[in-house]
């Protein structure tokens, strides 16, 4: 079963993160949906994810992971040495999520917010969005 990554579709940093994952996931472990989409909202309700989630969300084996836990679990599946980042899972989640929250809180200020334009995925990439 594919793992689902939910992301903020209005966030430039989140969009860049999705592109980063796609380029390093040649086996297509992940499919994607924006939190704002109809499918994203269905999954938010199904997995009881807070409506005001300010995080990347990974749905894997029937469980939803947020913040640094989601990011590290995604990194574990990526090509290259990115899987080594999973070692940070040994750091207590309060500390990891504290760092994650700083980036999440400032992501619009640092990376901007999408206006009306959005990326046009290739046909292969389009298959990975639900």
User: Model confidence over 15-54: pLDDT tens digits?
Assistant: 889 999 999 999 999 999 999 999 999 999 999 998 888 7
User: Model confidence over 45-58: pLDDT tens digits?
Assistant: 999 998 888 789 99
Total number of domains constituting the chain: 1
User: Model confidence over 62-93: pLDDT tens digits?
Assistant: 999 999 999 999 999 999 999 999 999 999 99
Domain span at residue 64? Answer: 3-126
Rounded alpha-carbon distances, angstroms, from residue 108 to 36, 88, 114? 16, 25, 9
Output 45-50 pairs: Cβ under 8 A, ≥24 positions apart: 49/6
Which pLDDT does position 10 carry in this prediction?
78
pTM of the predicted model, to two decimals?
0.84
How confident is residue 116, by pLDDT bands cut at 50, 70 and 90?
A: low
């Amino acid at each position: 079963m594919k793992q689902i990554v939910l992301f903020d579709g209005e966030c430039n940093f989140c969009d860049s993160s999705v592109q980063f994952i796609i380029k390093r996931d040649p086996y297509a472990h992940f499919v994607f949906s924006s939190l704002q989409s109809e499918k994203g909202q269905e999954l938010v309700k199904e997995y009881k994810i807070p409506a005001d989630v300010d995080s990347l969300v990974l749905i894997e084996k029937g469980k939803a992971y947020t913040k640094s836990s989601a990011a590290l679990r995604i990194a574990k599946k990526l090509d290259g040495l990115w899987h080594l980042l999973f070692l940070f899972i040994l750091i207590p989640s309060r500390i990891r999520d504290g760092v994650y929250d700083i980036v999440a809180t400032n992501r619009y200020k640092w990376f901007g917010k999408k206006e009306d334009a959005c990326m046009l995925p290739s046909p292969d990439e389009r298959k990975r969005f639900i």
